[in-house]
Amino acid sequence: MAIGNFFSKRHVKGGGDATGSRAIGKTDPRRLSLLDDFESADLGWFWATDSESKLIYLSENAAAQFGCSADELIGKPLSELFILERGEEEKGEQSPQRPLPFLLRARNTISDLPVRISIGESDDRKIWWSISGKPQLDGNGDLLGYRGSAKDITAVRQNQLEVGRMAQYDSLTGLANRHRMTKRLTTTLTAYKAAKRSCALMMLDLDRFKQVNDTLGHPAGDELLKQVGQRLERIIGGNGEIGRLGGDEFQVILPDIEDRGRLGEVAARVIQMISQPYSIDGARAIIGTSVGIAIAPYDGIDTEELVGAADLALYAAKGGGRGQYRFYSSELKDGARHRREIEEDLRDALSMDQGLEMHYQPLVDAKTHRVKCFEALIRWNHPERGWISPGDFIPVAEDTNQIGDLGEWVLRRVCTDASSWPGDISVAVNVSAVQFGDPNLPQIVCKALKDSGLDPRRLELELTESVFIGDPNATHDMFVALKKLGVALALDDFGTGYSSLGYLKNAPFDKIKIDQSFVRGSTENDNNNSAIITAIVSLAGALNMTTVAEGVEAMDELELVRERGATYIQGFIFSKAIPQDVVLEKLESGDLAFEPNGPAKHRSERKSVFRRIGVIHEDHRYDAVLRNLSKTGARIEGILNVPLGTQLVLDLGEGQLVVGAVRRSVEAEQGIEFETPLISDGADGLCTRHRVSPYMLASAGMPLAALPPGHYPLTNRSDGQKSRPQFMQLDLTSDAARAA
């Protein structure tokens, strides 16, 4: 029905008022015709309601957007025709616009209110209108109804939504951007603090991404980032929100997860999946990732604190050798400062040749136990801090671009040292992916050989699969250049990557090193590592390559790798890495054999530690010293004559409580077997799956805050009474205690 006909006939349906209609009906017919033309051209539409806000008029063209005629809509409440839906950019925020039913009840003027029309559940179209209207009142101030207009703003709304989405999402990967992730994390932590819920945060940084960008180009780097985002979405699914913060940094919010065992499994899967090869425009690229994990409320209460904790954990994971995950702990703050100090001191050590030296670990013949080669391992004896682990300073050298200078220094020193050994003993040097990517590497190796006089056939360069990142042609040319020098090439850490067979097909390796992770546990009945060792040895034999079993420490491991056919053995069972003067003493004696010396059987790794802990028995707390720690137990001292079978709780700090039973007790020393095994912290440490909740501590009177590094008064009885202590506490500061 045209608006002219509607008003000229004073058509009122549903109880409307005729007076208002007659007033309009007296309007000039030419004006009504003009309004009809306006409606027909879809420049805008008109609507009207009665006093009960039921529709009494709607332009026919407007009704068509509902998929029906105007007559079918007449009599329906106006509010039922529209869906009050907020855009994506408004979710989680309080809308400043009052909803339509409120405006109608309050008799407010409606001005450009955006609404989505209700089309039907089976129709997935989204049509947006902007509606305006004014209430019509009679002489007594009673509502007669509304008269208003409407127009289609679907295109404008879609554009607004797209602009809003672009402000919150990364245009490259489609993941949430830094702004949205910060906003979501803040909202989540605020709500979860009130509900006493936990939330984990993962920070990811891609390893070796810059090399892909530099060798394959930025478009390839962009495509790689897209594929990384897709893999993360497959892993995380609906369990969390993923964001790209910029560059090669990603973040994952995981609500309601505080089990560090479960989080470790997720992180390990992320590392494994991200590290698998990528196909980009016919080229092959391999990267890795490091993951830092922090959990609210244990490691942080607010956004800034939790992000800072996850960042420190990520920093530690990268510093531990990359391709690792790490949970936050308070000691990481000291670790970050220590890392900065290492960076400065390493630069001085290189420039002044101060404190750096090479040690050599023998690779012995599996049958004769005679040394055939030494692997060169760098050591740093800092003038003030003493020995600094390579696991601490090598990652720093890689991050600060000092690895090239360090690698060149190592090559020169190793070639010089090895030139004084008997002529049939070779030396192996580790070459990082950064060094391998340096076009000057063949010249550096050649100069080191020439200056030392070492026969090139006695030098082995150990490479990992990370050297295959980037341009395959450049990689092939480097292999050719190095083999022309006459040196041998070994593939280190074999089996820990994801495409080793593809590399072996074309790369000119002479030796494969079986990673120690396959040697560990290979003698256990339910372990497949022995079968993997057999497969690697068989593969190497078919390719005319020798094999080295790394990390052999126990007699049963030695026997197994010998039976499986490994050519050489390397590990503490024969010798740790020894300095040059000890090597020369051994070689000058003419005794080139090393006798195996180690435990009969492999056992779970037990980490030696020396730090104070708390020990809780019933309602008493004792001080003790933790001597060593494994996943299943610990050795402590400081409490006298504790009977076997006694149940104790070890307070390892930072809310970590471990229940265990005494299985060995000699005077002030006890061996504890844990009720629940510890888990890996992602590096070389151990931690508990769960911790004392800050919410529980807050209910006991402590302020709500992230867990401090110390211990907690958890032995107070509700009745205020205490039983008599059952054991005698040893004074750990006295001479007598130290003697004991």
Out of 137-141, 382-386, 424-428, 435-439, pick the least confident: 382-386
Instruction: Place 618 in a pLDDT band, splitting at 50, 70 and 90.
Output: confident
Question: Regarding beta strands 199-207 and 143-152, do their DSSP bridges make them parallel or antiparallel, or are they unpaired?
Answer: unpaired
Cα–Cα distance, 63 to 72 (Å, whole number)? 9
Q: Please compute the mean of the pLDDT values over residues 239-255 and round it to a whole number.
A: 95
| Cβ–Cβ < 8 Å for 267, 291 | yes
Query: Does residue 653 carry a pLDDT above 80?
Result: yes
Out of 171-185, 341-355, 498-512, pick the least confident: 498-512
Query: Does residue 553 carry a pLDDT above 60?
Result: yes
- Domain coordinates in residue numbering, the chain: 3-160, 171-330, 342-514+575-588, 607-739
Percentage of the chain with pLDDT > 70?
A: 85
Cα–Cα distance, 619 to 717 (Å, whole number)? 7
| Cβ–Cβ < 8 Å for 207, 280 | no
Cα–Cα distance, 288 to 266 (Å, whole number)? 15
CATH topology of domain 607-739: Thrombin, subunit H (2.40.10)
| Cβ–Cβ < 8 Å for 303, 189 | yes
3-state SS class at 242: strand
Structure tokens at 151: 């127009």
pLDDT of residue 386: 85
Bridge partners of 203?
Answer: 251, 292
**Side chain identity at 445, as an amino acid letter?**
V
Query: How high does pLDDT run on average in the chain?
Result: 84
Helix (H) or strand (E) holding 143: strand 143-152
Query: Does residue 392 carry a pLDDT above 80?
Result: no
Phi-psi region of 256 (alpha: psi -120 to 50; beta: other; left: phi over 0): left
Read off the pLDDT of residues 209-225 as tens digits, 9 standing for 90 and up: 887 887 788 899 999 99
Q: Please compute the mean of the pLDDT values over residues 508-536 and round it to a whole number.
A: 87
Q: Which residue has the higher pLDDT, 592 or 90?
A: 592
Read off the pLDDT of residues 260-269 as tens digits, 9 standing for 90 and up: 999 999 999 9
Helix 555-563 and helix 529-542: axis angle, to 10°? Answer: 40
| Cβ–Cβ < 8 Å for 11, 21 | yes
Query: Does residue 417 carry a pLDDT above 80?
Result: yes
Nearest of 394, 420, 417, 379 to residue 577 by alpha carbon: 379
Query: Does residue 607 carry a pLDDT above 80?
Result: no
Structure tokens at 626: 């933790």
Q: Which CATH class is domain 342-514+575-588?
A: alpha beta
Nearest of 273, 274, 272, 264 to residue 206 by alpha carbon: 274
Instruction: Place 481 in a pLDDT band, splitting at 50, 70 and 90.
Output: very high
Query: Does residue 331 carry a pLDDT above 60?
Result: yes
pLDDT of residue 21: 40
Q: Please compute the mean of the pLDDT values over residues 553-582 and round it to a whole number.
A: 94
Q: Which residue has the higher pLDDT, 17 or 261?
A: 261
From 1.10.3720.10, 3.20.20.70, 3.40.50.10490, 3.30.70.270, which CATH number describes the 171-330 domain? 3.30.70.270
From 3.40.50.10310, 3.40.50.150, 3.40.1190.10, 3.30.450.20, which CATH number describes the 3-160 domain? 3.30.450.20
